[in-house]
Structure 1
Amino acid sequence: MRRLINTKVERGPALVLALLPFALVIILYAMGSAERLAENPNDKLLPGWTAMLDAIDRMAFEPDKRTGDYLLWTDTYASLVRLFAGVASATIVSLILGICIGILPVVRATLAPFVATIAMIPPLAVLPILFIVFGLGETAKIVLIAIGVAPFMTRDIALRVAELPKEEIIKAQTLGANTWQIIFRVVLPQIWPRLIDSVRLSLGAAWLFLISAEAIASQSGLGYRIFLLRRFLAMDVILPYVAWITLLAVIIDATLRLMQGRLFPWFQGGRG
């Protein structure tokens, strides 16, 4: 008897199956939009494709009458700078703390409970505190992203370090390696690809914190524009902005995955 779990999907059918949910969503949206627009041509909830294309052209390729900026690109640049700064800061802190917690018993006993507790605090709950401490500028937004994803990444890296074969640590000590040599020559080379996985898993939360911070206090950014235009029910702009954010997230994730495969082929091979 052929079991479903053993069924292999070839590349062609796999591509069709992957595109099927997207096609279904597009078809359902087109049907819903057509039905609503037939009843009310001025309906704003589900704008037609033409209206959204006109909005994209206006936001991306026509200068704003007030500022002269091309708003989509200005917002994208502002958001990506904040996102990369926050994620990069969290990555550096998480890498250092995660390795130390995972390999050093004293650090684990001291910091592991603290990091686990901090990870339970909803980052959005401390956003008002960040605005009070750091003001309404860029620092508060970057810090929110960093503290939002750093505890998770730290715990993930610590777990990955703890899962490394103990035989490797013992062999390194037998050969005379000290603690720092073990960290830099045994632990760190194996953690790099796992760190990329951790960053990829954290990107969704990072986008959430970014959009939230921009919606509350900002003068530019993708989140700022979406929450500004909601007052006018400008779904013809909001929906393309949401799609653009999704596309950016997919591109960043794919870039990290490609970088992981190029830099650490041994890791991808072992996973496969």
Structure 2
Amino acid sequence: MPRAMNVVPNRGSRLLLAFLPFLLVALIYVIGSAERRAANPDDKLLPPVSEMVATSKRLAAEPDRRSGDYVLWADTAASLQRLALGLGIAAVVGLVLGLAIGLLPIAGAGFGTLVAVLSMIPPMAVLPVLFIVFGLGELSKVVLIVIGVTPTLVRDLSLEVQAMPREQLIKAQTLGASTWQVAIRVVLPQIMPRLIKCLRLMIGPAFLFLISAEAIASDVGLGYRIFLVRRYLSMDVILPYVAWITLLAYLFDLALVWIGRRAFPWAYDGGAR
């Protein structure tokens, strides 16, 4: 009899096993919602699925009476813009600093410890400082994402550079390559797949920083909407928004996987994700 660790499900079984937990959670929710509504018809904690679908349809397909905007799409566009700017800036800064710290001993000695210390600061602790310095507008929200994500990217990429075989760098220098050429032609292509994988891991924290900032100071956004309706116990809005944020994060992850596989197929040999 084969050991459980050696049993590999086929494609059909993988799909079934992937959907099974979601079906189980949905079943538990439906039963719990029905039980609570049977005990209290005015219960708001677990609204029926039909009620959440109706609310989601209204937010997505009907313009708001005051602003005229389609609330769900306006919130989504605002949040995704902030998220894209924050992650984009963090990726560029993290790549440049990670490459420099990992490749140049002088940069590592000068900035390595500083980055390590900065990575230990809880980003949410500096949120009030950001609001004071940058105001309550878009900049403070983007900066929070940058501050929360960049130190981790820098540390991870610098360690990736330092883990590269020294023989590659020595051979490139032997062939006459300058430091700049070694960085661009030898090191950079090899750490780009790692950057994409790091960004995948930072999608969740980035959404956390974004929603936290929107909840405190914003007039549009996914986090703003969730914290706006919480005072009314509008779970028919909160739960669909949470599900929507989760779906967006998952789509971000799939997009990064697609980019990584197309741009750097050699880094994904063997079906690695």
Q: TM-score normalized by structure 1? A: 0.98
Residue 146 of structure 1 deviates from its aligned partner by 0.3
AA partner of residue 192 (structure 2): W
AA partner of residue 69 (structure 1): D
SS at match of 1:42: coil
Separation in 1, partners of 2:29, 2:208: 24
SS at match of 1:250: helix
AA partner of residue 130 (structure 1): L
Deviation sequence 1:101-140 (CA, Å, 0-9, x none): 1111111111111000000000000000000000000000
SS at match of 1:8: coil
Residue 5 of structure 1 deviates from its aligned partner by 2.2
Separation in 2, partners of 1:58, 1:244: 15
AA partner of residue 141 (structure 1): K
Alignment of 1:194-233 (within 5 A): 194-233=194-233
AA partner of residue 195 (structure 1): L
Q: Which residue of 2 aligns with 1:88?
A: 88
Alignment of 1:139-178 (within 5 A): 139-178=139-178
Q: Which residue of 2 aligns with 1:41?
A: 41
- RMSD of aligned alpha carbons: 1.0
Q: Which residue of 1 aligns with 2:74?
A: 74
Residue 271 of structure 1 deviates from its aligned partner by 6.6
Residue 251 of structure 1 deviates from its aligned partner by 0.5
Name which of structure 1's ranges 162-171 and 64-73 shifts more when overlaid on structure 2: 162-171
AA partner of residue 60 (structure 2): A
Residue 174 of structure 1 deviates from its aligned partner by 1.1
AA partner of residue 169 (structure 1): L
Separation in 1, partners of 2:90, 2:270: 27
Q: Which residue of 1 aligns with 2:269?
A: 269
Residue 85 of structure 1 deviates from its aligned partner by 0.4
AA partner of residue 228 (structure 1): L
Name which of structure 1's ranges 226-235 and 168-177 shifts more when overlaid on structure 2: 168-177
Does residue 107 (structure 1) correspond to residue 107 (structure 2)? The answer is yes
Separation in 2, partners of 1:120, 1:165: 29
Aligned residues: 272
Separation in 1, partners of 2:139, 2:265: 37
Q: TM-score normalized by structure 2? A: 0.98
Residue 3 of structure 1 deviates from its aligned partner by 2.6
Separation in 1, partners of 2:180, 2:74: 44
Which ranges in structure 2 are unaligned for 5 or more consecutive residues? none
AA partner of residue 125 (structure 2): A
Deviation sequence 1:133-153 (CA, Å, 0-9, x none): 000000000000000000001
Q: Percent identity?
A: 59
Separation in 2, partners of 1:20, 1:35: 23
Residue 164 of structure 1 deviates from its aligned partner by 1.3
Residue 270 of structure 1 deviates from its aligned partner by 6.0
Separation in 1, partners of 2:90, 2:22: 33
Separation in 2, partners of 1:166, 1:254: 33
Q: Which residue of 1 aligns with 2:133?
A: 133
Separation in 1, partners of 2:176, 2:2: 54
Which ranges in structure 1 are unaligned for 5 or more consecutive residues? none
**Post-superposition, which runs of at least 4 consecutive aligned residues in structure 1 deviate over 6 A?**
none
